[in-house]
Amino acid sequence: MADESEKVELEEGTLLLALEHENLEEFRKTFLDQHPYDQAKFFIKIDAELRMIVYQFLSPNEMATIFENIEIDNDEYEMYLAEMDPTFAAQMIGKMYVDDAVDVLNELDKEQVTNYLKIMDDEAAEDIRELLHYEEYTAGSIMTTEYISIHAHQTIHSAMQILKKEAPNAETIYYVYVVDEDNKLVGVISLRDLIIHDDETMISELMNERVYSVNVMEDQEEVARKIMDYDFLALPVLDNEKHLLGIITVDDIVDVIDEEASEDYSKLAAVSDVDSIDRGPFSAARKRLPWLIILLFLGMFTASLIGRFEETLNKVAILAVFIPLIAGMAGNTGTQALAVAVRRITLGDFEEESKLKLIFKEAGTGLITGSICGIVVTIVVFIWQKDIFLGLLVGISILATLTVATIAGAFIPLIMHKLKVDPAVASGPFITTINDIISILIYFGMATMFMQYLL
């Protein structure tokens, strides 16, 4: 691994020298020998002045490979495209796989998209237009139309002829889809079957008629789940009449999984820019402020609750010492239950019986952890303050708080899921704040009830 890393660094040094001295032959020899991912990493690492030379040294087709493997923020596509000659940029986009080209164009304004489509090859532009009108985050928005289809009445020999002809432009050739005269999907056959069987065998004899597919309007998260569950390399995409429109490949699903995971993590942290490392402070603050303002008002409500128990605090001031302990424990256990619930919902196949089972399981977990923590804190407070009633109050409050907080952490995302709201919106900070309120009510409510023993 270290040797490979050193080799890449050495190649990067060679490439930099070749660009600085505008050595076309040396640059192309070293650069095109690299893996496309390494090419993309080098491209985004160099400055704009060197990138201008790269645009001169590479063809639109070679640049297309880089953009298919590039890992940048969505708003950076416009910056890189603006550096290129418009004709070069349009030709490059036209050479990309259609689904990748659509991903790039979706980050531009409509006027820019229109201009690029006018310049590029008519056939490529038409393929891209077909996908651009699909709603974002649906199967249609991430599918590619570069697949291979054959007919059931063909022989393997004739099918292989088609495969050899169309393979260079297809995104994957491991599955070949069988359609009828109306382009309706009727089966699928693997490349392996085409290779190992006799040339004169009919496709209809070998094809698998039970084909798993997705609707063009299906959510991309559901598509990702299906590919993960069945270990598919690709899934066909159909319209409502079962016409084959395109396919979704596993490499696109890896991007979807990463995107969805980042989105859920952002929501759990109550931010919307967790992936935007290079975002400026003002832009980041603008994104985060709405969440923080909401949490601020919830925090003020919590503070007002404590104010309502001012008389109790005045009589037994030591109670204030344990507020952070009880509130913190409630927030922590609620967030743990939240993570479990959101994860289960994300995995799907979550029936009503499973939901009840989860709530009872989390309630039991809260009861057990609350009991143990309550006993420990009772002993510690008694030894520290020499007051058994204070120890019992804090211990029982911990028990009740952890039990209720755990149930709330599991229950709230389930309710949101039922209301068709993304359960990740029930983020950690919200659960923590809600459980702060619950813990304060339990703790001071019990303290007020048993004040005579504390005095």
- What CATH number labels 2-137? 1.25.60.10
The domain spans of the chain are: 2-137, 149-261, 281-454
The residue-averaged pLDDT of 100-111 equals 90
User: How is residue 332 written in tokens?
Assistant: 């922590």
Same fold, 2-137 and 149-261: no
pLDDT exceeds 60 at position 336: yes
CATH of 149-261, one of 3.60.20.40, 3.30.43.10, 3.10.580.10, 1.20.1560.10: 3.10.580.10
* pLDDT at site 36: 92
The residue-averaged pLDDT of 300-323 equals 76
The residue-averaged pLDDT of 83-112 equals 92
Confidence of residue 419 (pLDDT cuts 50, 70, 90): confident
Least confident of 173-187, 208-222, 324-338: 324-338
The secondary structure of residue 138, as a DSSP letter, is: B
Name the range with the highest mean pLDDT among 73-77, 121-125, 228-232. Answer: 121-125
Q: What percentage of the chain carries pLDDT values higher than 70?
A: 86
- DSSP calls for 143-186: -BS---EEETTSBHHHHHHHHHHHGGG-S--SEEEEE-TT-BEE
For the segment 93-103, what is each residue's pLDDT rounded down to a tens digit?
999 999 889 98
* Terminal-to-terminal C-alpha distance of the chain: 68
* pLDDT at site 416: 76
For the segment 49-65, what is each residue's pLDDT rounded down to a tens digit?
999 999 999 999 999 99
Cα angle 381, 385, 387 (rounded to 5 degrees) comes to 85
The residue-averaged pLDDT of 324-348 equals 78
How far is Cα 289 from Cα 408, in angstroms, rounded to an integer? 26
The residue-averaged pLDDT of 114-126 equals 92
* pLDDT at site 2: 47
User: Can you tell me whether residue 451 is helix, strand or coil?
Assistant: helix
- Nearest one of 438, 429, 385 to 408, comparing CA atoms: 438
How far is Cα 377 from Cα 393, in angstroms, rounded to an integer? 10
Fold of 281-454: Tetracycline Repressor; domain 2 (1.10.357)
User: How is residue 14 written in tokens?
Assistant: 């060679």
Cα angle 248, 257, 130 (rounded to 5 degrees) comes to 35
The pTM of the full predicted model, rounded to 2 decimals, is 0.61
